[in-house]
Amino acid sequence: MCGIAGLLGGNGVDLLPLVTSMVESIRYRGPDDAGEWIDREAGIALGHARLSILDLSPEGHQPMTSTSGRYVLSFNGEIYNFVELRSELEKTGAKFRGHSDTEVMLASIEAWGLENAVQRFVGMFAFALWDREQRVLHLGRDRIGIKPLYYGWIGQLFAFGSELKVFRQIPGFRADIDRDALVAFMRFSYVPAPWSIYHSIYKLPPGCFLAVVPERARFEQGFSPDPDAHQAQWRPVRYWSARTITESGATNLFTGSEQEALDQFEELLSRAVRLRMVSDVPLGAFLSGGIDSSLVAALMQKQSQKPVRTFTIGFHESQFNEAHHAKKVAQFLGTDHTELYVTFEQALAVIPRLPTLYDEPFGDPSQIPTFLVSDMARRHVTVSLSGDGGDELFAGYNRYFWWRRIWNRFGWMPDTMRHAIARVMTTMSTQGWDRSVNIAATLFPSKSWPHAPGDKIHKLAEILRFDSPEGMYKNLVSQWKQPENVVVGGREPVTLLSNRRLWASLPDFTRQMMYLDLVTYLPDDILTKVDRASMGVSLEARVPLLDHRVVEFAWRLPLSMKIKQEREGKWLLRQLLYRYIPKSLIERPKMGFGVPIDQWLRGPLRDWAEDLLAEPRLRQEGHLDPSPIRKKWMEHLSGRRNWQYPLWNVLMFQAWLTAHERSPAAALSHH
């Protein structure tokens, strides 16, 4: 697990000091070693910051040159099946100097060619490969988008790197904020691929290659960063398509019994976990006590000769705390468990670090506990396994079954009737609903009373205002519902969500939502959050549920093996977990991984937020319209509405702007 950076072109510019500076800006991603490789005649320089996980010797140093000398590689990630590939290559006469997966990658590319080799890789990766013979730079990113990779043009230089920090080390880089991308951020809480917050800097989409030729490195005209765009001369090329996988799965459904599906899934996931337990440094797992992380921990412990290290953070606010559940799971499994109850002050202390940690505006508040658990785990281990991916693959989010129940109950109504019901539901504030439901729960005790009922009732009211399932889904994943009204001079770019021609051809809307989450929310929010939080403390996070073979198997399962009775998701995951952990330790309402941002904004964060949201400041900076922001801020402070998520987006942009843009407002720019 590392950080990579590089430059191509420049017409005689000395690239070595620039690449060295780029690598230094992300050394926390790889504090154990750093290296640069340059070919001045070709105008190419590659850099690497190394976090040593496999082959701790100097033989694992990068950038690494292939045995023949043809290829040079700078690589971030892990190839988990490298031992199997190495054995296959050795049978053909390949020789190896060390024991790293990087060396196996290079030998595989030499033996089978780039695309054929990558098709064989099981892993998470972002890489830059220089072909000295063909004089072509190849960038590549793993199938799901676990590891990040940005690229773009700065003057005559083509540049790339693991994070946006690397571009700011290059003289002449203009930090022009892309206001269209900012509009998308205000909607989603993240900047969706292929855009970045900076004009002309892009994210390489998951499952893609991009080939760049030095003599034609400056090809912005006719270039599209979107691999699904047509009519573009230069664009990323897909080697693995989530859309193809989902469509194929829906037309070639698993035909075995539930028991056969369970057995096959157990074998697949056990193998995925086993591969991710290969490490030359201490290893553990995040354990929230929920279904996904508990299953990963259980399969790790099953395949370990000693107690697995597990890590949990807890909060003193009961509505956000799952630590006691995690502790019971750890005790049952017999793991070596560490928990840390985070004080209010510790959580707040993370907030000033977020703008530089995430390097691009990022508005998911669970970034705070994710960083805290990563920071705690890093004191004991260098690698930690995570349960991310289970919700998207096995229908864990409430919206996957909510929409059908809501539509069946209310879809037949005329629009005016639904809108009237919605108005009645929002006459009482979220806090008022919470108080009323809490009183009812006291008088009539039951496990069925919902967590945070006021927020759910207001969300339901918003959903009722839409006349289609597609509108409901868009509303559910949007924080600002009309984000163009917030960003001055911004127009929302076309995204996967808005361009239905890019949607998968699937037989029902539940699977369509799961597909859209798989290609947007998962890589751009969940995996970005985990990558920056873990790498910010030099911790490698591995995600066995996102082994591409598990992903492909999951998409072949009928919905009946994921959702039961239209109210419970992740059925197959649960059944597998019950083979290892009693049902009583797991069954409880889904909480998520959050912090009480809404309360903090009315309390200890109020002065900080008021400063960032001050109307004169917003007007002077010129990026955001103060009117809708101040309206929501006042409503939030009064307690009438809980606007924590749209306000957090604004605050994270403002905090990021303060940290990175200490100059007058950037010029307007559009795609």
The catalytic residue positions are 2
Placement of tokens 């998968």 in the chain = 504
Say if residue 31 is exposed, middle or buried (CB neighbours under 10 Å; 0-12, 13-18, 19+).
Answer: middle
Asked if 345 and 244 count as a contact pair (C-beta separation under 8 A), the reply is no
Q: Which residues of 535-573 are buried (b: 16+ CB within 10 A; e: fewer)?
A: bbbbbbbbbbbbbbebbbbbbbbebebbbbeeeebbbbb
- The residue among 161, 179, 75 whose CA lies nearest residue 493 is 179
Query: How far apart, in whole angstroms, are the C-alpha atoms of residue 374 and residue 352?
Result: 17
List, in sequence order, the alpha helices (H) in 75-129: 82-90, 101-112, 114-120
Sign for the pseudo-dihedral over CA of 438, 444, 447, 453: negative
Query: How far apart, in whole angstroms, are the C-alpha atoms of residue 445 and residue 443?
Result: 6
- Count of other CB atoms within 10 angstroms of residue 472: 23
**Amino acid at site 439:** I
- The residue among 126, 136, 129 whose CA lies nearest residue 107 is 129
Q: Which DSSP helix (H) or strand (E) runs through 5?
A: strand 2-9
Q: How far from the centroid of its chain's Cα atoms is residue 133's Cα? A: 36
Listing from the earlier edge strand, what are the strands of the sheet with 201-203? 33-39, 44-50, 2-9, 157-161, 150-154, 201-203
State the pairing for strand pair 283-286/309-315.
parallel
Start-to-end CA distance of the chain, whole Å, equals 33
The torsion angles phi and psi of 655, rounded to 5 degrees, stand at -65, -40
Query: How far apart, in whole angstroms, are the C-alpha atoms of residue 350 and residue 352?
Result: 6
Asked if 78 and 199 count as a contact pair (C-beta separation under 8 A), the reply is no
Asked if 157 and 218 count as a contact pair (C-beta separation under 8 A), the reply is no
Q: Which residues of 433-455 are buried (b: 16+ CB within 10 A; e: fewer)?
A: bbeebeeeeeeeeeeeeeebbbb
Query: How far apart, in whole angstroms, are the C-alpha atoms of residue 507 and residue 112?
Result: 37
Q: Which whole-number Å values give the CA distances from 503 to 61, 132, 198, 512, 644, in the listed order? A: 42, 39, 26, 7, 30
DSSP state of 160: E
Sign for the pseudo-dihedral over CA of 99, 101, 105, 108: positive
